[in-house]
Amino acid sequence: MRPWRLWAAARCLWARPAVGPARRPLSCGSPQLEELFSSGGPLRTFLERQAGSEAQLQVRRPELVTVAKRLSEKEQELRETEHLLHDKNEDLRKLAENEITLCQKEITQLKHQIILLLVPSEETDENDLILEVTAGVGGQEAMLFTSEIFEMYQQYAAFKRWNFETLEYFPSETGGLRHASASIGGSEAYKHMKFEGGVHRVQRVPKTEKQGRIHTSTMTVAILPQPTEINLVINPKDLRIDTKRASGAGGQHVNKTDSAVRIVHLPTGWN
C-alpha cells in the first residue's frame, strides 16, 4: 500500500464531511474512500487477513483488527437490512431506511479509523523537541533570514498551542540572528516538525542591498527529539566511588557542604 495514496485519501476525507442521504447504499463516502475499500482490492485483502488471524496467533495490531472486524460486521448488517427496503410494509421500509443511514455513517467512520490506524507513526512523534537554527552563507542577510525563520517557528508553535521556550539566542548587531535554540513541546510536536530539518535557502533582494540585486543566502534548521524517558542500565562494576571527606576524624569534627562523595562512571568519565 503506497503511503501517499493513503495520505491523499485521508486529506480528502478531512476536507469533506461524509454525511448526507445516500443514493446507493454502500458508497456514502467520497469516491476515493470507496475506491480504497473496494472489494477484492489490496486494502480489503489486507484487512481480511488481519481479521482472520486467530486469537492464538500474535496479533501485532489489535486495534486495527478490532475495527476491521467491526467494519465487516456492519457491512453485513447493512446488506441484511437492505432487503427490507423492498418490503410491502411502509413503516418497515421507513425503519429500514433510518437503520441504513445510521449504518452507513458508522461504516464511513470505521473506514476513517482504519486509515488513521494504518498511517505509520514513529515512537517519537509525541515527543518534545529541540529546535536549532543557525545562519549559513550570506552574512548579514543570512542572519536576517535566520531571525525571520525562528520567529516563524515561534508563531507556528503559538498557533499550534505548543510550549515554546527559547534556550539560547545569539543575535547579530544589525538585528539578525546567528544561532538560536528552543525547546518545543506539545501535542504531536515532533511529528509536525520532524521534516523541517536541513538547509533552507532564500533568494531575494536583501534589505541591505542598494542596487537591487538578488542574493542567495542559507540557514540551517536542526530538529532533535527529546526522549520522554531514558532507560539507563548501569553496571555497578563501571562505577568508582571516591570519597574525599577531610582527613582526620570526619563526622562532628567537620562541616562541609560538599558531601565529598563522587561517583565516576568509568566508561564515560562522567561524574
Q: In the complex, which residues of this chain contact another protein (CB under 8 A)?
A: 165-168, 243, 245, 249-261
Q: Which residue has the cell 476513517?
A: 112
Nearest to 182 by CA among 155, 209, 219: 155
Residues listed for the chain: 271
Q: How far apart are CA 95 and CA 93, in angstroms?
A: 5
85: Cα separation from own chain's centroid: 44
Kindly report the backbone phi and psi dihedral angles of residue 171, in degrees, each rounded to the nearest multiple of 5, phi listed first.
Answer: -80, 165
The amino acid at 106: E
CB of 246 to another protein, least distance (A): 9
Farthest CA pair distance, the chain: 105
Q: Based on C-alpha coordinates, what's the Rg of the chain?
A: 30
CB of 196 to another protein, least distance (A): 22
CB closer to another protein, 19 vs 167: 167
CB of 258 to another protein, least distance (A): 5
CB closer to another protein, 16 vs 244: 244
CB closer to another protein, 116 vs 224: 224
Contacting residues for 4 by C-beta, under 8 A, at least 6 apart: none
CB of 182 to another protein, least distance (A): 10
CB closer to another protein, 158 vs 261: 261
CB of 183 to another protein, least distance (A): 10
Kindly report the backbone phi and psi dihedral angles of residue 183, in degrees, each rounded to the nearest multiple of 5, phi listed first.
Answer: -105, 125
Kindly report the backbone phi and psi dihedral angles of residue 103, in degrees, each rounded to the nearest multiple of 5, phi listed first.
Answer: -60, -45
CB of 271 to another protein, least distance (A): 12
CB closer to another protein, 137 vs 261: 261
Nearest to 104 by CA among 196, 195, 33: 33
CB closer to another protein, 21 vs 251: 251
Q: How far apart are CA 225 and CA 14, in angstroms?
A: 28
CB closer to another protein, 58 vs 257: 257
CB of 9 to another protein, least distance (A): 44
